[in-house]
Amino acid sequence: MLKVNLERWQHSPERLREQAFSAHHARTRERVLALYEISQGKSATQIGWQTGRNPQTIMDWVHRYNQGGLESLVYHRTGGHPPL
């Protein structure tokens, strides 16, 4: 079973939810909110079905968080045309 390692980063599910709603970018909000949902017992498959994301992508977000904390989920624009 997929587990969000909240203890390692001294976070609570409520803190994840707060961070999700206060994040500056929509992609960061989506990632952190997915972690919150997993911490509440949902599976990556359920979240993927609800959001239209591949469950493997959601699992990758969990693994990134478990390794690097919330900072590892912050969206950084990497290239392409700037937004209009």
Q: What is the value of pTM for the model shown?
A: 0.86
Q: What CA–CA distance (Å, rounded) separates 28 from 19? A: 9
* 4-52 confidence digits (pLDDT tens): 998 898 999 999 999 989 999 999 999 999 999 999 999 999 999 999 9
Domain residue ranges of the chain, discontinuous segments joined by +: 13-73
Q: What CA–CA distance (Å, rounded) separates 67 from 59? A: 12
49 with 67: CB under 8 angstroms? no
Q: What CA–CA distance (Å, rounded) separates 54 from 77? A: 21
